[in-house]
Amino acid sequence: MNKITDLSAAFAQTSVSDNDIVCQRTLKASIGCAGVGLHSGQKIRITLHPAEIDHGIVFRRTDLAEQPLYPARYDGVIDTRLCTCLGDASKGIKIGTIEHLMAALAGARIDNVLIDIDADEVPVMDGSSAPFNFLIDCVGIEEQDAPRQVIEVLKSVEVDYNGCTARIEPGNGFEVDFEIDFASKAIANQRMSVKFDDGVFVANISRARTFGFLHEVEAMRSAGLARGGSLDNAVVLSGDEVMNEEGLRYEDEFVRHKILDALGDLYTAGMQLQGKVTAYKSGHHVNNLLLKALLSDESAYQVVPMRKSALYAVNDAPVLATA
């Protein structure tokens, strides 16, 4: 972490007069929304505020007396069992289900934002990132007078947990190749490769909803979880059948949502990654393990200013899917 901090400070002094350098970005104004917590069922309000250069993405628990701040960082993640949770385990403080909002911020290339939240989880909204991208569109994006830094991957790093794998290797821009495999015929085997050029996330990934099986939802509710889950904010399957009357938003919505989750989880690196991620049945825990493995090896990465060429690395067929 010292390496990232030191290099970020150094590159903050880099001139933005170079026409190929991408600038940091924040919001033009504050904006908020309210929704239901997936697990608590409570009504929750969040407000996104513009933030200064090099602020990063930081959550503030406004419902607590001290209003503690929690940077959205992989080393501040305290739980990955059902979602990605930030917080302080010693004090029993958490901020759960951050991944959909984080994916929206990553997809919009927002570097600096302060997020006020008055409960212990981000509202699930419709189960995708689209409502958060709508908020960003409503207020607009402001470029800041400092270069955006990225973590450039220099060598391949791989993790394996109970047969679920994730690997990151050098590459131009940021790419995710994801494969899932479920016994349910409604999902089966799906694979998609996405090169996150400018605009690709909103166009092809952001609307993909979280999903689960009816028997799992019933079991979680018996354990006091998923109290806010419904067909309005998740794709629910019963065996081989999709229970949502409107059906799927994409034929391969399931793998698209797993890519959405991965993008949000990996944005907790503190800045965008530059490289290719290949994942098989990965989830929040494996995504977090991958960041820990990469950023614990100082020979595996370097922090560099982001180049505009990385935003438009692929001009044709940015999304390839097989199911």
Q: Which residues are catalytic?
A: 284
**For the chain, where are the alpha helices, taking DSSP H only?**
2-11, 99-107, 130-139, 200-204, 214-222, 253-266, 284-295
For residue 263, what are its two tokens? 């993008």
Task: Tell me the C-alpha distance between 292 and 89, whole Å.
Answer: 19
Find out whether 141 and 28 touch, Cβ atoms under 8 Å. yes
Find out whether 83 and 99 touch, Cβ atoms under 8 Å. yes
Task: Tell me the C-alpha distance between 318 and 320, whole Å.
Answer: 7
**Any known ligand binding at 100?**
yes
Burial class (CB in 10 A: 0-12, 13-18, 19+), 315: exposed
The β-bridge relationship of strands 57-61 and 113-117 is parallel
**Any known ligand binding at 49?**
no
| Binding-site residues from annotation for Zn(2+) | 100, 257, 261
